[in-house]
Amino acid sequence: MQLQEVLYSQGFGTRRVCAGLIQQGYVQVYGAADGLAHTCLDASAEFAPDGLRFRVQGVDWPYCDKAYIVLHKPAGTECSQKPSTYPSIYTLLPSPLRMRPQKAAVQGVQAVGRLDQDTTGMLLLTDDGKFIHRMSSPRHHVPKVYEVTVKHPVDQSQMARLLSGVVLDDDPKPVRAAACEAVGPLHLRLTLTEGKYHQVKRMLAAVGNRVEGLHRSQIGGLAMPPDLAAGQWRWLSAQDLASVSEA
């Protein structure tokens, strides 16, 4: 693949922009033999993309046919490209991730599901439409773990109702938690395998309690990296992706 095509596929702009970055000396490619970054001024130079690492304007990037990342969503952000009130989570990502070309009308990585503006925690983003569908489909029952701070102490009857199922106002079919653990008097760990609008908040309201704080700590078998601070992101490894898909 030509180097300008590599950069274009990774979201660094149009082919002309990518060629300009290369010709101006802003792009270095890591050599397979010595592991060192070498400046390449030839936009049409051919490289095998798999395993390719390169540096653009001082920032290292791996070649990824599809991008898979995890973001620690902070409070006060919206999971929307066009937010209504709060800043978009997409402003936390570097431009190449937001500009990766796609066949669809949208560009860049997209959130796999959404979290409310005041909810924090684990959010996956990718430009792999099949992965988004697989992770979001209720048929696949991907478990998601939430750390819930509640207003009133949780009792056994509330936990029993959450596990057996509660009826929300817009759906006659009961929704239930896959697991429910009282971590502390005002701290509940709730596992869900479906994602309805404001589901955790509405489920707790249905049993006579109220959510004061909500944080998603795990998706599938992958927990939030403990060293990933709010607002930070990182690439998902092949092992991470396998863990995420664990039901």
| CATH number of the domain that residue 75 is part of | 3.30.70.580
28 belongs to a structural domain: yes
Give the torsion sign (CA, 57, 60, 65, 69): negative
pLDDT of residue 233: 98
Asked if residues 188 and 180 have their Cβ atoms less than 8 Å apart, the reply is yes
Asked if residues 161 and 177 have their Cβ atoms less than 8 Å apart, the reply is no
pLDDT of residue 186: 96
pLDDT of residue 197: 84
- On whether both 163 and 191 belong to a single domain, the answer is yes
| CATH number of the domain that residue 151 is part of | 3.30.70.1560
Which residues make Cβ contacts (< 8 Å) with residue 133, sequence separation at least 6?
none
One-letter amino acid of 166? V
pTM here is: 0.93
Q: Cite the active site residues.
A: 116
pLDDT of residue 180: 96
pLDDT of residue 32: 83
Domain count across the chain: 3
One-letter amino acid of 76? G
Q: CA angle, corner 213, sides to 211 and 207, nearest 5?
A: 15
Which structural domain, as residue segments, surrounds residue 26?
A: 3-62
**pLDDT lower than 70: segments of the chain:** 247
Domain boundary (62, 78, 96) is at: 62
